[in-house]
Amino acid sequence: MSEIILTIEGIDPVELFGEKNSRLNILKKAYPDLVITSRGNSLKLSGHKQETQRAKGNVETMVKMLREKHELTDQIVEDMLEGESPMTNRLPSKASGNTIVHGRNGRPIKAKTKNQKLLVNTSDSNDIVFAIGPAGTGKTYTAVALAVKALKNRLVRKIILTRPAVEAGESLGFLPGDLKDKVDPYLRPLYDALDDMLPAEKLKKFMGERVIEVAPLAFMRGRTLDNAFIILDEAQNCTSAQIKMFLTRLGPNAKCIITGDPSQIDLPRNQKSGLFRALDILQDVNGIGRVFLGAEDVVRHRLVKEIIIRYQRANEHPIIKDKKQEEE
């Protein structure tokens, strides 16, 4: 057995533990085998040594957040505790201005390159953003992080992630299972990003309640997407009619990021990608932003950057350029 007494200095216990000890009760619920008692500015933790050390780390994280961020809510505490048990003690300081959101285990999800940061800033000031670039540049991952941030900050009520289910050398009809089983492989990158950013139980709950929805683009037809953060991924595989259909689904208080890689078009030869036409038609519309990522933004294996550069040099699939962004 172990006993730890923490003295909370310079912080009002009510701010730390919440009105009627709401946040203290959340902590107690997370550690049912511990005896946790507070008196004034002291907190006593009694129980197994490993558990008391973990709870101590959580309390110290809560204190640090109040001191550095001047904010602590019941939801923040729940998110921290659900992220991992035990909760890690890592908490970014104010200096980490590139952090978009805190993912599982308290890990900061950051914009790592110049153009990823530009994508974050462009999304802040525009309701629709086109993020164009080759594989590995973090455009989808950054977009999902922005959507999760908006949901956590209650700027939107739901997240909708969608992709066109276009075959890339293999036929959907030959994949095993029902329609969901056939389509899910195309949506896997979106699930993977969500897995990084939300605790498993919370993600399962959000998807069960349709707070987070991952669906093929065809399922968007006829809907009005309101109070939502919507991501259309792999838009280079959309026809012009599909992109128009998608964009006209947006309702009030909706934000949207459209990602695409012009070098990976899997449409049949008799169909043209609607991404290029949309970029051309909408380029001067106020409220629609464009960000172009390149080999310098690759965050995968070091060889991916070199592979992209070599293919671009070969002019097999020239990447669209934005004159304004090139000048910057």
pLDDT in tens, 131-179: 999 888 899 999 999 999 999 888 899 999 998 876 444 444 544 555 5
Q: What is the pLDDT of residue 98?
A: 73
Q: Where is pLDDT greater, at 314 or 58?
A: 58
Kind plus residue range of the DSSP H or E element containing 290:
strand 288-292
Measured CA to CA, the distance from residue 308 to residue 218 in angstroms comes to 31
Reference 325, options 303, 304, 296; nearest CA is: 296
> Could you tell me which of 82, 26, 95 has the C-alpha nearest to residue 197?
82
| 28 pLDDT higher than 70 | yes
- Tell me the mean pLDDT in the region 64-92: 63
pLDDT given for residue 109 in this prediction: 87
237 with 266: CB under 8 angstroms?
yes
Read off the tokens for 57.
């780390």
Sorted by where each starts, the structural domains of the chain and their CATH numbers stand as 2-91 (3.30.1370.10), 109-327 (3.40.50.300)
The average pLDDT across 279-285 equals: 91
Average pLDDT rounded to a whole number, residues 175-192 = 65
The per-residue pLDDT for 95 is 35
Higher pLDDT, 48 or 320: 48
- Other residues' Cβ atoms within 10 Å of the Cβ of residue 226: 14
Exposed / middle / buried, residue 327 (Cβ in 10 Å: 0-12, 13-18, 19+) = exposed
Better-scored residue on pLDDT, 127 or 186:
127
Q: Which tens digits make up the pLDDT trace of 219-263?
A: 888 888 899 999 999 999 999 999 999 999 998 889 999 999 988
- Residue 177: what pLDDT? 54
Q: How far is it, in rounded angstroms, from Cα 320 to Cα 292?
A: 8
Q: Which band of pLDDT confidence, cut at 50, 70 and 90, is reported for residue 90?
A: very low
Mean pLDDT, rounded, of the chain: 81
The DSSP string of 204-225 is HHHHHTTSEEEEEGGGGTT--B
Residue 275 CA: distances (Å) to CA of 5, 135, 290, 293: 60, 16, 12, 15
> What single string gives the DSSP state of each residue in 34-45?
SEEEEETTEEEE
| Helices assigned H by DSSP within the chain | 13-17, 22-30, 49-69, 74-83, 114-125, 139-152, 179-197, 200-208, 240-247, 274-281, 302-313, 323-327
**Euclidean distance between CA atoms 171 and 175, whole angstroms:** 7
